Each structure stands twice: as structure tokens, then as C-alpha cells.
Structure 1
Amino acid sequence: MSTHETTPAGAPDPEWDALVANASVWGGDGFRPTAAATVAANPLPEVSADPAGTTPLTPAWVKNGAGWKGRGRVARVNSVHGFRRWVRRQGGEHGHAAQVWRGLARTTRWVKGVEGADIDRSKHEARRAQEAYRAARRAHAHKLIPGDKKNKLAKVMDDASKDSAAAMTALAKVRKATRARRAWRASAVAAPLVAAEVGSVLALGDVTNGSLVACAATSFVLALIGRRTDAGETWTSDSVALGDGGKLTDETLNAAYRDAGVLKDDQILKLLSPVALTRDGDAYEVVFDLPSGMPTDKALSAVKGLASAMGVSITQVHQGRGEREGRIHLRVNLRIPFTGKPSPGPLLTAGRMDLFKPVPMGVSMRGKPIETDWVERSGLFGGEPGAGKSAAVNNVLLAAALDPYTRLYLADGKAGFDLVPFESIAEMIDTAGDPEALLSILTHVWEMEVPARRAALREHGARKVSAELAVKDRRLALAILFVDEWASYVAGAPAKLREELNRLFQLIVSQGRALGIASLAATQKPSSDSVPTSVRDLLSVRWAMRCMTPEASDTILGKGYASAGQNAQTILKSQRGVGILMSGESAEPELVRGYFYKDDEVEQIIGRATELRAEAGTMPGMAPLGATAAPAAPRLLDHLIAAVTATGRGVATKGEVLAYLAGVDPQYAPEDGESEAQFRSRAGKLLAEWLDAEGLEVPTPKVDGPDGKRSLGYRLDDLSEVR
């Protein structure tokens, strides 16, 4: 398979220049996979500005030695494929022997010419004249015929004799003319052969070698004459399917889209870039526009037909939406992608992470590192058992673990061992698949994390969490809530508990984004029976691993994606850890292989995360799940600060503080039949006991209430000093 590059005609095109520049660099800052994870060992240098517009004429791979080495490897592979195509060709009517034979037959027919028809006609006329003469002579030979009649028959015989002689003369002339013409054409054929023979002998000085050269030249000419079959077909490399070692060209590209039913016979694709091999020689890439008026979905839904027309697996064909309707970015891999060893994860060598920056998730088909921003995001991971969901989620959890200020709330509905390594650093965790334990986690996040973050944002006068605010106030550090196999939790829970789990999770997902809480869920098929549609639709990042049906794929990515060519059912079982990633509300799905971390590598990363959290003083004090535990003093103090901040006066009475805490913790809520005085006495005593138990001395001076009356309360300045 040889490279096939064409040059776009016309004036310099800025869009084309940008395309070439983007294809020449890895692009983007942040994590890069190691050399084993990338396709090229040394990325090519960035193409500089090109005022003359000649960049498209200069392939990027000529810029350095690595490009030349890669192109040399491609040339060697092309040579092997070319030889195999030549061997297959010899067995058919397009073989060189068949071509030489056809050329010889056609040359012979040309030398013989069409004069044979004139000879046959003259022969026929001469034969008829001779038969007429014989008939006249037999009639004249009868002796009993009267004299007058016999004289007439003699005259007829004489005329027939003359006609026969004239016909024979005409036949002789035609034969002579035919021999002359055939001799001239034979000379025209023989002259080049003799010239080749003489020239070869004179050039080489050897009759044998000269004869061989002359024979080779003759065979070449005859093969050239016979290259077209009797049906008018000519052999080209385009007639070989891409999967059989052929190459993708402008012609075969259009033919494939016609065979797939995308194009009509009179329609062609408008190429915006040449159909060319990538610099690593592993795939063909091209950008083109569909015919005017044709929607992009028509081409995207024809991926099976395209794969069949090209003779490749459906997983080797990837079509991406362009910048506008009708524009396609096509990549056809020469071998099935993601079937080798997985790429080593960059977190193995990463130090401290910052979850406010994009997280490295995996590698695309182009060998490009894929990073996803999880700020104000939530994620859904789906796929059949063994597809690699846990490994995919690990990319997020391990990155969060290496951020010492990120709080982890984890739950595993399948009661497996995937989350066990995180037990020492998670704020709350359930690895037993207990719905009551999950309820405790969700309740804590909703009743403690969410109000505390709201209060902190009000204190800073901000609408949402940002990296700058998180540095100033560690209460606003990001948090990860991950529920693995949500379906297992809700399936084993009573109806009332299931409704409460769904309600809390929906509230956290919908309101936690702006508060810095990223919610993740993983399940085999997130149908409405397991994950409510109201919750599923809020999860913005989708990663569909291998699925059993197109409907299951659509359940994860969204309705219509499977019919548009983004079908996780087409992912092969050998492509473990591979999924269709849609990283955000507006992002186009992309086939990505997630980084894979072995068990010992996970332990290594968790160990480093433990050291970072110990240094930062953020190691959690784990409370038994399911138990009613009093909130830790720092969190209670945060609620006091939030309650005072909420008044907008810088002060708050005890009554205002207790009313605020009643909306955060049910222990502060009024009990049935309890008067207001009894409620204040009981809640105030509870608050005082907890503060005293933690050794916190919080001043309670008299402050002005909302009605202007003075009573005991709290001042924001005093609380800030205590913290």
C-alpha cells in the first residue's frame, strides 16, 4: 500500500493551513502518554506560519529524522503489500501473462487487417463466375440442339469465360494489395523489435543480453496493448479493497460511499484535504464535504456499508462531525485499533494533582491523550460486565486521590473489591452494597456538604466554586461522589428507600455541580428501571463501553447516537477498556481507550495520595456507616459561620442560628408537641455540649436581632478567630 497524496488546487486556504498545522503537533498542555502509549516516539515540530501558502505542498513528516524513519517503515510495508497484490493479480485475466497474450492476439489481428473480407468477397465473385462458365459450357456441349440456339449458347459461354477471367484477375489484385498492406503493418511491428534488438546489442555488446532486453521490451509493449480486457476493464490498484492491501484514493473513497448508498452515481465528495496516510502509516485520514443538501447523519449512519465497501472491520472506520453540517472527518485504520497492550497511565509518574484541571482519561485512535474537565461536570459510565467500567472510573478516582483537598464519597453496589484501596482516604465509603449505607452517604452529602458549600459561597459573595476560591477557602475544595452499580442498590432496596435514594441523588447531581460536587455513576445498562431518566439526563459526561445492543448504547450516550454511527455494540471483546466517550454537553463522541492501572499500581498511587493528604492534614476521620454520628467540630463551626453570614448583618442571634441548623441537621429540628421555648432549650443545650466536647470556646455576646432587640448570639469576627 503506497501513500497517495494530492495537492489542493487554488489559492492558499487558511482552513487547510490550520488543518495541516493541527495534524503536525500533539496539541494542548497537560499530561502526555509515555512513548509506548503514543504512535510516534518523537512528535513532529509545530509548523510555522506560511505566508506563501506552500505548507500543504510540504508534508510534515519531512521536518525531522523521526518522520523519515517512519516513512521508510511505511515504504517497506507498502513494498510487501505491493508484491502480494502483484502475485494475486497474476492468476486472473489482469495478470501480465494474460495481458501479453491479449496484446499478441490484438497485434496479430491488426497485422492481418480487414482486407481478408475483400479477398473473401473477390473469391466469392470468382467462384460464381466460374460456376456460370461451367454451366454455359455444359449447355453448349449438347449435340442435338438446333444451330441457332447452339450459337446463342456459345456466345453465353464466351461471356461467362470473360467474366470468370476478370474475377480471377480481380482476386489476384486484391491478394497482392493485401499482401502489401500486411507486409507494411508487419514491418511496422517488426521495426521496433529489430531496433530494440540492435540497440540492446550495441548498448550491451552482447547478443544474449540484448535479446533478453528486446524480449522484455516486447513483452512490456504487448502487455500494454493487452492491459484492457475484452470487456473493456483495466486493472488498477484501486480495484483491490483496502482490507486486502489496497489503498484509499479519491476514486475508491467516492466508490465506497456510493456502494454504501450515501452517494448517487452522479454525485462526488468535495475533498478539503488529500486522502493520505497519517505520518505513522497506521491510517488514512481525509476531510470532505458531502454533496449540497445532504445531511451529515446520512453518512454517519452508513458506517457498516462503508466498512463492507472498504473490506475492513466496522471498528476501523471512524467518521466525525465537522465544523458545519455536511462536513465529515474520516479516519480509516489499517488494522483494528486498541487490540494491543493498554497504554501506561500518566498518574504513575504524576505528583500532586489539581482536580480543577483536566484529568487524563485515555488515548484516542489518533494516539492523542484525552483529558476531561470534571469541574461542574457529572459522569455516567455504562457497559456490559467485563467491558472495563471500573478501570475507566479509576482514572477519575485516582486523580482525585492525588489531590489532597478533594473529598471522596464512594459506594460499590456490587460489593466488590474495586473501591477497597480507597478506604483509608475516603470521607465515607460502602463496599458491602448496603442501600442503608448509601442512604447515609447521600444524606451526609446533601445535609452537610451542600449547605456548608452554599454558606461558604454566600460568605465569599460568589455564585459557584472556582479554583481561586478553593485556594482561599478549603471548604470549597472539590468533592467526588461515586456510586458503582446503582442498579444493584435500588434493586435491593424497599420501595420507600429506593425513592429516597433517587431523590437525594437527583438533588445532589442537579445542585452539586455549581457547589463543586462531581457525581459519578456506573452501571451495566442505566435504563429508567435502574437509574431514573431525571437523574440520567443530568449526567453530562458519558462513557459507553461495550454493549450488547444498540439500544443499550443509546441509553448511555443518548437517543439516536447508535443510528448515527456511534454504537458501542460494535466494540469488540478484544478491545477491553475501550468506549465511546462524550466529554461534556456539547462534545462529539469519540472512541477512547482508558488508561489501565494494575492492582499494585493502584496501591502505589493510593500510597502516594495518603502521604499527600497526611502532609496537607486532610486525612478523614471515618465514622461507622449507618450510625448517627455528630458532625465534626470544624464542620459544625462552618455551619455557625454560614448561619451568621446568612443574616447579612455580621451577627446572628441564637434563635437564628438554631433555625438555620434545623434545616441542616434533623437533630436540631423541633420535635412533635415541643414548644418554641422547649425547642430552643434542647437545641441550645445540644449545640453547647458538642462545642464543649470539641474544646471550642465560642463567645456568645449580646447582639442585635432582626427586630432590633438584643439577645445572646454570635459575631462573624469571633467565629473567624476561633476557626
Structure 2
Amino acid sequence: MSTTSTEHGEREAEFIDLAAYQDPDTLDRLELLARAARDTARTTPAGIADLSTGTVRLDKEEGPAPLDQLDDEAGVLEVLDERDGWNLRRLVPESLTDMGVWRQRRAEWLNATAFHALRSPVYLWRAANVAALGARVGTRDAWSYLFATEYGQIADKVRRTKAGPEHIADLRADRRKESRGRRREPLTIYSLTGCSTYTGALLALGETWGWVMASPVLLPVFGVLYALGRRELIRRQPDGTFALMDAPDFTGAGVLTDEGLNAALRARNVGILKDGEEVTVRGFIAREPADKASVVRFDLPRSSGKTAKEVAAKREPIAAALAVDAIQLSIRQDGHEGGVYMRVADSHPFGGEPVPSPLETAESWNIWDGAPTFVDETGTITAIELLFFGLLVGAMPRQGKTFTARAAAAAAILDPTCRVIVADGKGGKDWAATALLAEAYVRGVTEPAVRRLTRVLENLVAEMEEAYDALFELPDEVCPEGKLTPEITRDHKIYPVVLIIDELQRYLEDEGKEEEDDKLTYGKRIEKALITLAKVGPAAGLIPILASQKPTGDAVPSALRDAIPQRIAHLCATYQMSDSVLGTGSSASGWNAKDLAPAFKGMGIHADETGLRFMRSLLIKLPGFRAICERGRALRITAGTLAGEAAGQAGRAARVGGILADLIAVFEDRKNPERLATAELLDGLAALDPSTWAPAALGVGEEDQAAYARTGGTALRKALDEALAETDRTLTVRSWTSGGRANGYYLADLRKAAGMA
């Protein structure tokens, strides 16, 4: 801004366009800031303008152009408020349009009606006492007025002053005169006439219709007497309050109110709020559909310095203050640290019969859609993410671990692209049906079973490395995050592997060894393999589903537990056991599986990266689980993915042929040497399947080892050719002595032919 001199010698303001001195980038930035400011102003009440007004911005035009000629180059007509989507609903308060709020009000009205109905005898007794007081007071006041009793009081005062008898006589005369005048007043006569008429009519009605029918006629009298009694109570206690009806008490009814919420947080054993402090409710308390619970979101007062975590840690005392079971109360952080979400259920959310799993009737399932495993406190069936997360279930015996693991595993069973490996430490029938489709099914904790599981897991580690090598070779466009995707599974046949181990602690406690001089026991080898698989395997599609009735550190190492971020704890014996499953400090935060009600089997606490919540596992009984496994087997046969023991073979090589799997199993039994002679392989095959590979089955004598090697070698070559005939793989022929393949085979060649390398 500068100034120039006028003809009168005064200085006149002159406008200087500062925009002319700015570079184009700065002008563009200022324009964007101005437009953002205008857009923000339009959303405020002060920014709402008339539809006919606006701001015209001209871009270096010499003069104003007609509105119909304004375009992007000439200028822009900016309307301050077009009121897009404006409707009457904006003028209606949210409390009148939110159905959840109306459900809450209906619940309050119904509970208030029930509360007052139950206390109606108390209210009637109070009203009768007040009316009786009104009758006494009314009779007293009427008598005092009609007979001028105030003169008697004056006469008493005069008598105490020892005045002469003539003064007392004058007062008595005045009293008689005044009382006669009052009794002759029209109002008195009308009142007495009305009362006598009313009494006569009441007697007539009583004689004609009966006193029960005539009783409503007494209501006006009762109302007048009640009003007189209430007035007398107020006169006696000017500073006191009287209420015929008590304030409705929703404690224990599951209907939350602002007053009840603040009172609960102010309770002595809660101590979240001090006297005089109140929370700020966001919006209104609402009811969920079907009137199952009250839901409120509120902010704690800043002066209290409290957080949502502190409120959640006081869940049990708050539940006691609200007179509900702790399981009925859900508390979590909502937004900022001082924001709280609270849900108060009307009754125990997991009462009644368990909910059947929808997978019992599902024809198939996609593991990428999660696994329906439990219902949460709202009754909603929850599908947990197994891929990249896995699942660890811990609890005391007979508290539903197997049911929960079974509900989660059913999703993988119904997905034909999932490879399933099962180890049942109990050795019962809980997982027997999975043998219909599992590549490996280990039952019990006998020495052969533990040894076999050890080799299966160590082979899985090797397969995991191979899967990572395959993912590494894929272009970034195909594998952008370096982990398995549905498209990779479909196009490159890298399948997710679901590893199910029930009663895990029994395998980890095994003290057996391969050889006496071995440094590691089978239990330690299993532990080492599981930790590797749980830590590294998820990105390659390894899904561990582990269940243990002793998940503490002395049975299941913390390195394994910590590698599985998704856990479920059913009833535990101690809070330490609960913390070992849910995470250290969960009990101190109000989530303790030790306090779960044992009457509700399958109830537990679910923990994942989003937090903790109560749950109850979906029910799949053994007949239904067997039907699921039968459908899973049929799906795999159709998709061509049935492999391993379920296909009558052993190991992953079953996808190519049983003989390859058997040969690799022989190598595994001999600690995977580089190569084995044909005679050694035939001895191992005879141990696996004597009906096919024993000397007698081949038609040679047991003593003639040369004939056995020749005949068996020929049969072995024929079996291998048949196994590879329908594939694009071949078995490379390499010999270390003269005589060709008859002398033996290399393990690497067998693995390559089986598609394992």
C-alpha cells in the first residue's frame, strides 16, 4: 500500500497488486490454500450463504465478463454453498432420528414402568398417609376458621398480661360475633352445601351400584386431601423435598443411563471420577438391535487425568457398581486415550446352548476369508484370520480347547488348496476324521509317533525354505510383499500348510533320542522346528493351530507363544496361565481367564492385534466334523490335491506317486544319506509294505540276496516309471559304480522327481 497527494494536499491510498510480484508456484499455492479455506468455511453455520450469492474470481481479465461467458480460463463463479444433499433431516435433532436412541428410550420406559409397578403399593401407602395428613390439617383449618380460634389465642396472651376481666369478656364477645359472621358467609354456605350434596350423591351411588363401583367418585376428595397434606409437608420442611414416586433404578437391568454411568465411575472401589466430575457422553446412549445391550461412547474429564485403559482395568468394580456380571460389561478405548466405548448387556451374553458352526453345512470354504471360530459378546459369528496369524489355544482340561481348534481347522479342511498335517497328543477320536485328508496324521505320543512327528516338522522346515525360494523367484508384480497370495496359490501351486497339534505339551516334554549320543531329544527337536515354522513360516503360508492344557513357560516356551499373535484362553487354573496365553499384564488389565464361569463350556477370551474380547467357540460335534472331513476329502479329489497318507502314500511326494514317497521315507529313516543302494532301499520298502516288497512277495527266497536285488530292482524301476508316466517329471539316472540304476539312487534325484526340489 502506498499514498499519493491530492489537490487538497491530503494523501490518498493507492492499491498495489502484490500478486504481480509473486512467482507462479507461490500464486498456485496461495490459491489452493484460499480454496481450502473457502471449502472449510462452507461447512460452518456462518459460512452458509444465500444461493444467489457467490464469489467471482477473474483470472487477469481486463473487465468483467458476462456470467455465461465465464470459463476455466476467463474466471470462475464460486458459489459459497450449493447445499448438496440438503434436506429436512439436517434440521431434525439426532435424538429423533437414531433408532438406537429410540430403542434405549423404550427400554428406559419399560423398565421404569416395571419399577413403578412393583413399587405401586409403597406409593399408595405414601399417598394415603399424605391424604390422611391433609384430612387432619383441613379439618383443623376449617374448624379454626369457622370458630375463630385465633381469638382464643389472643385471649390467652391478654390473660398472661394480667389484664382486667372486662378485656377477656370483650374478646370472647368479638369471637362469637366473628364466628357467626363467618358461618353465615356465602362461601361457607356454598361449601357446606356442596359437601353435603357430594356426600349424599356418594351414598346414593353406593347403595345403587355398590361401593366398589362408587369408589372412583372418591378420587377428587382424595386429590384435594393429598394436596392439603403435601402443602403441610412443604410448610413443615421448607428446605426439604418430597416425592411420592422414587427415581427409577436401572441397576442390574442392563439399561445404562447418564446418572448410572457417572455413579458407577464415582463409586468408592472404582475411583475413576471424583465428586463433582462427570463424563461427556458423545451423542446419546443407544440400544443394540433386539434390545440386547446399552452402548455408550463417552470422554473422560480432562481434569481427572484418567485413560480408557484405566477404566478397562476397573471392569469388575464397575460391573459391581452397575450390579451386572463382569462378562456383561465390555470396555475399550474409543478414539483418543480418554475416549471410552462401553457396552452393558442385559444378561449373560453366552447363556443358552452353543451356536453351531456354519461350516457344518458349508460345501466348501476359502481360507482367505478367515475361519468362523466363535461368537463374540454381541452374538456375532466371528471369522478369525488364520493366514499369517495362526492360533494358540490354552486352558485347563475339558474346557473346550479341542472344540475351538476344531472350529478353526474346519475352514482349512473345506479349502482344497490347504495342506493339512495333524498331530493329536491325546490319541483319542477328536481328530481321527482328519486322516481322510491329512498328508500326515500322528496319533498319540508313543515313540514311533513322536519320532514321526519330528521328521514331519523338520521336513516342513525344509519345504518352507523351498517355498521362500519359489516366492523369491517371482516378479515383484506377482509377489509384491514377498508373501503368499491367493493368486500365487492358484497360478504357482504354492499351497498353505495348516499344522494342527493338540496337547502340544506332551510332544515337547518327550525325552527320547534318535541315538544315545544325540544332543537333542525329540521334544527339543520338535520345539526347535515349531519355533522356526511359527516365526518364519506364516509369510509362506504356514498356519499353526496349537492347543495345550499347560501353556506356561515350563511346558510351551515363550519363544513359540510369542510367535503366534492370535490366542484364545478358556478357563485357566491360575492368572499366570492366563497371562501366558493372552500376554503378560492382561490380568492386570481386567482380562483374566481364571475368573471365567465354568458353567459355560467353550467360553473364553480372544486376543489379537486389535485387543481382547470375550467369546464362545462354535460347536462342531464329532459326527459333524467327520462329515466336514469327508467333504474336504471329496473336494481335494476333485481338485487333484489329495496327497500324503490320505492318498495311501507318505509325505508330500504323494502328489507324484506313492513309490517316491516310500523311497524318501526310507531315506528319512536312515537320517537322509546322500544315496542308498538298491538292496538297502528294498529292505526299507519291505519294512514299510511287506505285502509288496518282501522277498516272498517278489517270488524269491530270503537267502538269495542277489536274486532279491535283481528282481526287486526291476520291480522298483517299473513302479517308478508308472509313477512318473503321467507327470512332466523324470528321474535322473546317476550311478556311482558300473551297472546303472540297479546299484541305487540319490536322495536329491528322488526329491526332484517328486517335485520337492
TM-score (norm 2): 0.64
- The partner residue of 1:438 within 450, 453, 459 is 453
Check if 1:100 corresponds to 2:128: yes
Q: Secondary structure at the match of 2:90?
A: coil
Q: Look up the match of 2:730.
A: 697
Alignment partners' CA distance in 2, 1:183 and 1:670: 135
> Percent identity at matched positions?
23
- The partner residue of 1:52 within 90, 94, 102 is 90
Check if 1:85 corresponds to 2:115: yes
In the TM superposition, what is the alpha-carbon distance from 1:512 to its structure 2 partner? 0.2
In the TM superposition, what is the alpha-carbon distance from 1:411 to its structure 2 partner? 1.2
- The partner residue of 1:667 within 672, 676, 695 is 672
Q: Look up the match of 2:217.
A: 211
For structure 1, which segment, 451-460 or 607-616, has the greater mean C-alpha deviation from structure 2 after superposition? Answer: 451-460
1:33-48 to 2 correspondences below 5 Å? none
Alignment partners' CA distance in 2, 1:181 and 1:317: 68
Q: Look up the match of 2:509.
A: 491
Q: Look up the match of 1:656.
A: none
In the TM superposition, what is the alpha-carbon distance from 1:591 to its structure 2 partner? 1.6
Q: Give deviations 1:76-119, integer Å, cap 9, x for gaps.
A: x975x666534542465xx2221331354267558868999987
**Alignment CA distance shift 1:539-1:118 (3 Å):** farther
Does the CA-based 8 Å contact 1:479-1:518 persist in structure 2? yes
Does the CA-based 8 Å contact 2:116-2:248 persist in structure 1? no
In the TM superposition, what is the alpha-carbon distance from 1:385 to its structure 2 partner? 2.1
- The partner residue of 1:328 within 311, 316, 340 is 340
Check if 1:563 corresponds to 2:575: no
Q: Secondary structure at the match of 2:543?
A: strand
In the TM superposition, what is the alpha-carbon distance from 1:580 to its structure 2 partner? 1.6
In the TM superposition, what is the alpha-carbon distance from 1:181 to its structure 2 partner? 11
Does the CA-based 8 Å contact 2:403-2:618 persist in structure 1? yes
Check if 1:450 corresponds to 2:464: yes
Q: Give deviations 1:300-340, integer Å, cap 9, x for gaps.
A: 12222222222222221221221221222211111111111
Does the CA-based 8 Å contact 2:570-2:604 persist in structure 1? yes
In the alignment, structure 2 segments of 5+ residues that lack a partner are 1-41, 45-85, 513-519, 662-666, 677-712, 735-747
Does the CA-based 8 Å contact 1:241-1:309 persist in structure 2? no
Alignment partners' CA distance in 2, 1:601 and 1:49: 53
- The partner residue of 1:240 within 249, 257, 276 is 249
Does the CA-based 8 Å contact 1:100-1:219 persist in structure 2? no
Q: Look up the match of 2:576.
A: 551
In the TM superposition, what is the alpha-carbon distance from 1:464 to its structure 2 partner? 1.3
Check if 1:255 corresponds to 2:263: yes
Alignment partners' CA distance in 2, 1:490 and 1:196: 98
Partner letter of residue 157 of structure 2? E
In the TM superposition, what is the alpha-carbon distance from 1:478 to its structure 2 partner? 0.8
Does the CA-based 8 Å contact 1:241-1:247 persist in structure 2? yes
Partner letter of residue 555 of structure 1? S
Runs of at least 4 residues off by over 6 Å: 48-51, 113-121, 170-184, 193-198, 222-231, 627-630, 635-639, 688-693, 718-723
Q: Look up the match of 2:496.
A: 478
Q: Give deviations 1:649-676, integer Å, cap 9, x for gaps.
A: xxxxxxxxxxxxx99x9625699xxxxx
Partner letter of residue 295 of structure 1? T
Q: Look up the match of 1:504.
A: 529
Partner letter of residue 265 of structure 2? Y
Does the CA-based 8 Å contact 2:438-2:644 persist in structure 1? no
**Alignment CA distance shift 1:436-1:668 (3 Å):** closer
Alignment partners' CA distance in 2, 1:254 and 1:178: 59
In the TM superposition, what is the alpha-carbon distance from 1:602 to its structure 2 partner? 1.0
Does the CA-based 8 Å contact 1:452-1:638 persist in structure 2? no
Q: Look up the match of 1:467.
A: 486
Q: Secondary structure at the match of 2:291?
A: coil
Alignment partners' CA distance in 2, 1:575 and 1:12: 52
Q: Look up the match of 2:615.
A: 592
Partner letter of residue 380 of structure 1? L
For structure 1, which segment, 227-236 or 343-352, has the greater mean C-alpha deviation from structure 2 after superposition? Answer: 227-236
Considering only aligned residues, what root-mean-square deviation do their CA atoms show, in Å? 5.1
In the alignment, structure 1 segments of 5+ residues that lack a partner are 1-10, 14-47, 131-160, 640-661, 672-684, 702-713
Alignment partners' CA distance in 2, 1:373 and 1:278: 26
Does the CA-based 8 Å contact 1:579-1:592 persist in structure 2? yes
Does the CA-based 8 Å contact 1:126-1:168 persist in structure 2? no
In the TM superposition, what is the alpha-carbon distance from 1:575 to its structure 2 partner? 2.0
For structure 1, which segment, 229-238 or 353-362, has the greater mean C-alpha deviation from structure 2 after superposition? Answer: 229-238
Check if 1:375 corresponds to 2:387: yes
1:573-612 to 2 correspondences below 5 Å? 573-582=598-607, 584-585=608-609, 587-612=610-635
**Alignment CA distance shift 1:225-1:526 (3 Å):** farther
1:93-242 to 2 correspondences below 5 Å? 95-105=123-133, 108-109=136-137, 122=154, 125-130=157-162, 161-162=163-164, 165-166=166-167, 208=214, 211-215=217-221, 217-218=223-224, 221=227, 232=241, 234=243, 238-242=247-251
Does the CA-based 8 Å contact 1:242-1:311 persist in structure 2? yes
In the TM superposition, what is the alpha-carbon distance from 1:399 to its structure 2 partner? 0.8
TM-score (norm 1): 0.67
In the TM superposition, what is the alpha-carbon distance from 1:208 to its structure 2 partner? 4.4
Q: Look up the match of 1:364.
A: 376
For structure 1, which segment, 110-119 or 299-308, has the greater mean C-alpha deviation from structure 2 after superposition? Answer: 110-119
Does the CA-based 8 Å contact 1:553-1:562 persist in structure 2? yes
In the TM superposition, what is the alpha-carbon distance from 1:402 to its structure 2 partner? 0.7
**Alignment CA distance shift 1:722-1:246 (3 Å):** closer
In the TM superposition, what is the alpha-carbon distance from 1:401 to its structure 2 partner? 0.7
Q: Secondary structure at the match of 2:645?
A: coil
**Alignment CA distance shift 1:372-1:247 (3 Å):** closer
Does the CA-based 8 Å contact 1:319-1:329 persist in structure 2? yes
Alignment partners' CA distance in 1, 2:544 and 2:317: 39
In the TM superposition, what is the alpha-carbon distance from 1:410 to its structure 2 partner? 1.3
In the TM superposition, what is the alpha-carbon distance from 1:278 to its structure 2 partner? 2.4
**Alignment CA distance shift 1:12-1:498 (3 Å):** farther
Q: Which has the higher contact order (CA 8 A, sep 6+)?
A: 1
**Alignment CA distance shift 1:210-1:402 (3 Å):** closer
Partner letter of residue 467 of structure 1? P
Check if 1:533 corresponds to 2:558: yes
Alignment partners' CA distance in 2, 1:410 and 1:195: 96
Does the CA-based 8 Å contact 2:370-2:411 persist in structure 1? no
Partner letter of residue 493 of structure 1? E
Q: Secondary structure at the match of 2:498?
A: strand
Q: Look up the match of 2:420.
A: 408
Q: Give deviations 1:504-538, integer Å, cap 9, x for gaps.
A: 11111001011110112111241111111111111
Alignment partners' CA distance in 2, 1:289 and 1:322: 9
Does the CA-based 8 Å contact 1:71-1:280 persist in structure 2? no
In the TM superposition, what is the alpha-carbon distance from 1:502 to its structure 2 partner? 1.7
Does the CA-based 8 Å contact 2:437-2:642 persist in structure 1? yes
Q: Secondary structure at the match of 1:367?
A: coil
**Alignment CA distance shift 1:129-1:615 (3 Å):** same
**Alignment CA distance shift 1:405-1:624 (3 Å):** closer
Partner letter of residue 637 of structure 2? A
**Alignment CA distance shift 1:241-1:623 (3 Å):** closer
Q: Secondary structure at the match of 1:405?
A: coil
Alignment partners' CA distance in 2, 1:578 and 1:302: 21
Does the CA-based 8 Å contact 1:443-1:504 persist in structure 2? yes
Q: Give deviations 1:187-229, integer Å, cap 9, x for gaps.
A: 8xx89x979979x99xx9x994772442464477579769999
